[in-house]
Amino acid sequence: MKDRVTPEFIRAVPKSDLHLHLDGSLRLKTLIELAREAKVKLPSFSEAGLRKLVFKDSYRDLPEYLHGFMYTCAVLQDLENLSRAAQELVEDNAAEGVRYIEVRFAPQLHVTATTGVRDVVRAVAAGLAAGAKAHNNSKTVKSGEDVPFRYGMILCAMRRFKKGMSPYFADMLRLMEHAPKDEVFAAASLELARAGVELSVEGLPVVGFDLAGEEAGFPPADHWAAYQYAHNHFIRKTVHAGEAYGPESIWQAITQCHANRIGHGTFLFAQDMIQDPKIEDRKRYVEDLTNYMASQRIGVEVCVTSNLQTIPSLKSISAHPIRRMIDSGLAVSICTDNRLISNTTVSRELELVVEGAKVSRAELRRLIVAGFKGAFFHGSFADKRAFVEAVERRYEMLESRA
């Protein structure tokens, strides 16, 4: 293989995406079609218009970035639409060489007056299965030349919510109107964890539990009961942490929520964001946390484009901590976060990291394999090991031809 890692090679090799939000990853064409059907008013009904007005390459701030979700969530209040979005997401990933995804979504956001959390999860699962069918029935997969497409679902609890976000959240706030808000948020998370365990026992590929939403002021420890329930029932855990808060948030996610992986972790090294006055040696705290995560193989789901779009202090990839994460031996996987909102793909994210963080050929291979090894995976460990080995063989074969 030549010294230069080409876009063609990156696109060809098997890849994974462990941090992928369903409601942030619709096809733009599908969003427009579903909006017309559901009579959802969009700022524009052309793809070019929406790219100019909503789904941009760069954003002023996080609120502008999040603005697009009001439209995607509005069209995902129908079970058929959820299934379609999930199916197309698999098809789009498979087309660019991705062979494993973990689709995360907040089922409680998609509940209606006639559907519940379990209906929503089953609809997404059906779409994922339909999307994987064509690839997995292909001649290249059946012959063993290519690897099958595998997937899992991660259920997202919300750090905080308002009545207008969904009928489910409105009911929760009404029923617990006299309780402190943090208790209401925690109760919703625990209900979701229970539903996730139940559906997992049913055989659905619910592989993980997540906590998303506004990080500052809403610590992961508030949702301890939900995470403990998931932990007690062998559901793996990830937490959005270190995205808008410092190292303490990441450590709390690990110690209080049993996090197997961290979503983003962008401010892992930000000593100046440590707030606990008891932590006198901030440099040592960050070093110890980093070494702990590296030694325990607690994965970091890095979404470079999304970070550059939502964190004003990050002006370029060279300012992103991805290079330091790699040098620290962390189990880093490269993810998209939101394919539509960030206008990206797994291949594009890898290209950006290779060029911007000066990633070598050996490091690229480790990054890609780390994504598969860090997968929560629906199946036995033996099945996962066989899958990873198949990925490595496929990678080596393509590398030898490059």
> Does any domain span residue 2?
no
3-state helix, strand, coil in the chain (%, to 5): 55, 10, 35
Q: Which of 303, 352, 353 is nearest to 326 (CA)?
A: 353
Residue 172 lies in a domain: yes
Residue 42 lies in a domain: no
Q: Give me the catalytic one of 215, 243, 248, 301.
A: 243
Name the band, by pLDDT with cuts 50, 70 and 90, for residue 214: confident
- For the chain, what is the mean pLDDT? 95
Is 250 among the domain residues? yes
Q: pLDDT by residue (tens digit) across 340-392?
A: 999 999 999 999 999 999 999 999 999 999 999 999 999 999 999 999 999 99
Q: What is the pLDDT averaged over residues 300-320?
A: 94
pLDDT at position 278: 95
Confirm whether 35 is domain-assigned: no
Amino acid type, 156: C
Residue 3: the pLDDT is 67
- Is residue 366 situated within a structural domain? yes
Residue 58 included in any domain: no
- Which residue type is seen at 42? L
Residue 4 has pLDDT above 90, yes or no: no
Element (H, E) at 152: strand 150-158
- Please give the C-alpha separations between residue 335 and each of 9, 21, 113, 353, in angstroms, as whole numbers: 18, 10, 34, 11
What CATH number does the domain containing 377 carry? 3.20.20.140
Does residue 63 sit within a domain? no
Work out the average pLDDT over 105-123: 97
- Name the least confident of 57-66, 124-133, 298-307, 348-357: 57-66
**Tell me: the pLDDT tens digits for 140-185?**
999 999 999 999 999 999 999 999 999 999 999 999 999 999 999 9
Domain count for the chain: 1
Q: What is the Cα 181 distance to its own chain's centre?
A: 26
When comparing pLDDT for 374 and 58, which is higher?
374
- Residue 216 in this model has a pLDDT that exceeds 80: no
Q: pLDDT for 229-280, tens place per residue? A: 999 999 999 999 988 889 999 999 999 999 999 999 999 999 999 999 999 9
Rounded to whole angstroms, how far apart are CA atoms 384 and 290?
A: 26
Q: How confident is the model at residue 1 (pLDDT cuts 50, 70, 90)?
A: very low
Mean pLDDT of 63-72: 93
Residue 218 pLDDT > 90:
no
Quick check: 46 pLDDT over 90?
yes
Which SS3 state, helix, strand or coil, does residue 158 take?
strand
Mean pLDDT of 216-233: 93
For residue 293, the enclosing domain spans 7-26+76-401
Calculate the alpha carbon distances from 392 to 212, 237, 353, 365, 386 in Å. 32, 25, 20, 9, 10
Q: In the prediction, which pLDDT does 2 show?
A: 54
Give pLDDT, residue 266: 96
Q: Is 8 a catalytic residue?
A: no
